[in-house]
């Protein structure tokens, strides 16, 4: 099979490698071109196809023309390539939907691989729909732009926990914990930045965790978070020089908590890991996660059930 894969993270690369997939082509945005050295470490005899990303600015007419043009440019590149299978890790972005429609029209097989919890529950917020409605005005690919999933009935779905047709060996299977803490680790997400919750409420909820558990709770921030919101607070923010997954498997904590971070799925500490979205008022996400009986992580409706 002659495969083209659209990757945007090292996790995607690792997942392809562990499942014995060696794409002939890799589709990278200009911003993801930094992944090329990592691709070279894992694969041989492949070609990288760079596509230009869409833009948003106050010059609506200029940006609209640019965005319509980038899809045409990518289509011309794709037509020249000899491939019969596309692998995607998301289907909620305009570029994903463009690629799906192109491949379906050319009768090319499409596989959608799990990218994390979003694969199962989407964003869990209506804010994504609002963002996409704005993108519509700026000339982004329009078909299905208000939908979080796209034509999945026509795609081959591959994931770890529901279909169980791909595998992922977490770093915890290769590493041993080097430091043990009698503390709780909270794995953060950009919930404030993404509009799920206000800054004040988020920080107050984090601070209350220390009091409730009578144990120090340390906070591992997400790369997209604005850390300035923690200045002047007593939130114990970690500063690490590695990725969250590597840190978690090399440091042993009493419990691992998060609203709904995918990291908990990748560290093999299921018995000590808990999703607590309802604690942050994310009732809809709690219901979505609670319906996923195949997930190995505890989804609790109260801090009293963290034990």
* Distance set, CA 134 to CA 54, 64, 91, 137 (Å): 13, 12, 18, 5
The CA-CA-CA angle for residues 75, 135, 7, to 5°, reads: 50
pLDDT of residue 52: 93
Contacts of 73 (CB under 8 A, 6+ apart): 51, 52
Max mean pLDDT range (60-69, 103-112, 192-201, 263-272)? 103-112
| Integer Cα distance of 121 and 109 in angstroms | 24
Contact 74, 98 (CB under 8 A): yes
Model confidence at 127: pLDDT above 80: no
Positive or negative torsion for Cα 133, 139, 145, 148? negative
* Res 185 pLDDT > 80: yes
Kindly list the distances between the CA atom of residue 43 and the CA atoms of 36, 40, 168, 174, 293, in Å, as whole numbers in the listed order: 10, 6, 17, 21, 35
Quick one: pLDDT at residue 122? 83
CATH 3.40.50 in the chain is located at 3-158, 171-305
> Residue 169: is its pLDDT beyond 90?
no
pLDDT, average across residues 262-278: 93
What predicted TM-score, i.e. pTM, was given to this entire model? 0.88
- Three-state DSSP at 250 gives helix
Question: What is residue 180's predicted lDDT score, i.e. its pLDDT?
Answer: 85
Mean of all residue pLDDT scores within the chain: 92
pLDDT (tens digit per residue) in 199-240: 999 999 999 999 999 999 999 999 999 999 999 999 999 999
Instruction: Indicate the fold that domain 3-158 takes in CATH.
Output: Rossmann fold (3.40.50)
Q: What is the mean pLDDT of residues 274-282?
A: 97
Structure tokens of 195? 């509009």
Phi/psi at 290 (nearest 5 deg)? -65, -25
Residue 245 has pLDDT above 80, yes or no: yes
Which residues contact residue 30 at a Cβ distance below 8 angstroms, ignoring those fewer than 6 apart?
50, 51, 52, 53
Architecture of the domain delimited by 171-305: 3-Layer(aba) Sandwich (3.40)
pLDDT for position 235:
96
Q: How does residue 140 score in pLDDT terms, banded at 50, 70 and 90? A: very high
């Amino acid at each position: 099979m002659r495969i083209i894969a659209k990757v945007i993270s090292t996790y995607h690369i690792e997942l392809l490698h562990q499942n014995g997939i060696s794409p002939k082509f890799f589709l990278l945005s200009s911003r993801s071109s930094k992944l090329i050295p990592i691709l070279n470490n894992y694969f041989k005899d492949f070609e990288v196809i760079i596509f230009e990303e869409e833009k948003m600015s106050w010059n609506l007419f200029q940006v609209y023309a640019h965005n319509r043009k980038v899809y045409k440019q990518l289509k011309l590149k794709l037509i020249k390539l000899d491939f019969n299978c596309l692998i995607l890790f998301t289907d909620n972005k305009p570029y994903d939907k463009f690629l799906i429609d192109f491949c379906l029209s050319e009768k090319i097989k499409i596989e959608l691989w799990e990218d994390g919890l979003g694969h199962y529950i989407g964003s869990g917020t209506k804010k994504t729909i609002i963002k996409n409605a704005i993108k519509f005005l700026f000339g982004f690919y329009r078909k299905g732009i208000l939908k979080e999933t796209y034509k999945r009935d026509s795609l081959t779905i591959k994931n770890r926990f529901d279909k169980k047709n791909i595998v992922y060996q977490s770093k915890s299977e290769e590493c041993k914990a080097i430091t043990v803490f009698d503390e709780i680790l909270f794995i953060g997400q950009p919930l404030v930045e993404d509009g799920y919750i206000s800054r004040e409420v988020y920080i107050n909820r984090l601070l209350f965790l220390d009091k409730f558990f009578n144990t120090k709770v340390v906070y591992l921030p997400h790369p997209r978070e604005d850390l300035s919101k923690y200045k002047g607070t007593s939130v114990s923010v970690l500063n690490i020089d590695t990725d969250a997954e590597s840190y978690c498997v090399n440091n042993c904590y009493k419990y691992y908590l998060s609203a709904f971070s995918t990291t908990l799925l990748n560290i093999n500490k299921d018995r000590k890991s808990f999703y607590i979205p309802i604690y942050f008022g994310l009732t809809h996400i709690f219901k979505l996660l609670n319906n996923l009986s195949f997930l190995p992580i505890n989804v609790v409706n109260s801090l009293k059930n963290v034990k």
